[in-house]
Structure 1
Amino acid sequence: MIEHDRTPERFLRTAEAGRFLGLSGRTLEKHRTFGTGPTYRKIGGRVVYAVRDLQAWADKGRQTSTSEPRALSPARRLDEVRTFTR
């Protein structure tokens, strides 16, 4: 039988999630609006982020060289991002 980790998943509100990532809460709000940010949940009208989702999103931006294509989009509409990266 597999023993599952019994540690409850940790959720952060927008301001806390921003601090975790080193971003402002407003930047996360923009990413939510444009669909370019980390996965989030709405619970009782509140937006929360699972720490593991924040970490996974941040890991997508991992790079070893400045010449690599940008992995994470800026907090802009997707059509603006396409124009911006050309």
Structure 2
Amino acid sequence: MNREAAAAYIGVEAQTLANWASTGKVRIPFLKIGRKVTYLKSDLDVYLASSKASTTR
């Protein structure tokens, strides 16, 4: 899915996702083909599961 759809899926702004990708602050794998950035739903699910686990401590 594209950056906008991925951001909506995990509940952040598209610009936040772009910032995370450029700074490496949060590492969510993505594919870049030319100027197009694509995220796999399975990678977003892994991120959501790990962030949920870290916030329940």
TM-score of Structure 1 vs Structure 2, range by shorter chain: 0.7 to 0.9
Residues matched between the structures, number: 55
Structure 2 stretches lacking a partner, 5+ long: none
RMSD: 1.5
The SS at the match of 2:39 is strand
| Length-normalised TM-score, structure 2 | 0.82
Counting aligned pairs with the same residue, the percent is: 24
1:55 aligns with 2:33: no
Bigger relative contact order, structure 1 or 2 (CA pairs below 8 A, ≥6 apart): 2
Superposed, 1:1-86 pairs within 5 Å as 12-35=1-24, 36-63=26-53, 65=56, 68=57
The SS at the match of 2:12 is coil
The Cα shift of 1:43 comes to 1.9
| Length-normalised TM-score, structure 1 | 0.57
Task: Return the structure number with greater helix share.
Answer: 2
Query: Would you identify which runs of 4 or more consecutive aligned residues in structure 1 move more than 2 Å?
Result: none
Higher Cα Rg: structure 1 or 2? 1
